[in-house]
Amino acid sequence: DAGVTQSPTHLIKTRGQHVTLRCSPISGHKSVSWYQQVLGQGPQFIFQYYEKEERGRGNFPDRFSARQFPNYSSELNVNALLLGDSALYLCASSRRQITGELFFGEGSRLTVL
């Protein structure tokens, strides 16, 4: 029984570049949320998608965008990378839109040089 899967697991980019992170939710889960976790901090909410529509957005600049596909997988895109974007990006899925019970992936570790 596969859990939430994320790719890539690690990546290194330079300032100004663009990155795409991918997430496959648990089968049957229609909601995907993205979180950013900086070292020493708790996960910070970026986006939630439910049934392919954006349902929530955290306090992140427009350089951050996301989408959800018909199979409920999701992509997080970050443009014009800054050093401060270096973090662990977590994807979480859930059955319902409004729930605190999230199932997390292992994350994508992004390093911006």
Partner 1 sequence: AQRVTQPEKLLSVFKGAPVELKCNYSYSGSPELFWYVQYSRQRLQLLLRHISRESIKGFTADLNKGETSFHLKKPFAQEEDSAMYYCALSGNSGNTPLVFGKGTRLSVIA
List interacting residues with partner 1 (CB under 8 A): 3-4, 33, 35, 40-45, 48, 55-56, 58, 90, 97-107
Q: How far is the CB of 18 from partner 1 (least distance, A)?
A: 25
Residues 87/110, Cβ–Cβ less than 8 Å: yes
CA angle 84, 89, 91 (to 5 degrees): 155
Instruction: Mention every residue, 6+ apart, whose C-beta is less than 8 A from residue 13.
Output: 19, 81, 110, 111, 112, 113
- Least gap, CB of 103 to partner 1 (angstroms): 8
Nearer to partner 1, 13 or 88 (CB): 88
Least Å from the CB of residue 74 to partner 1: 15
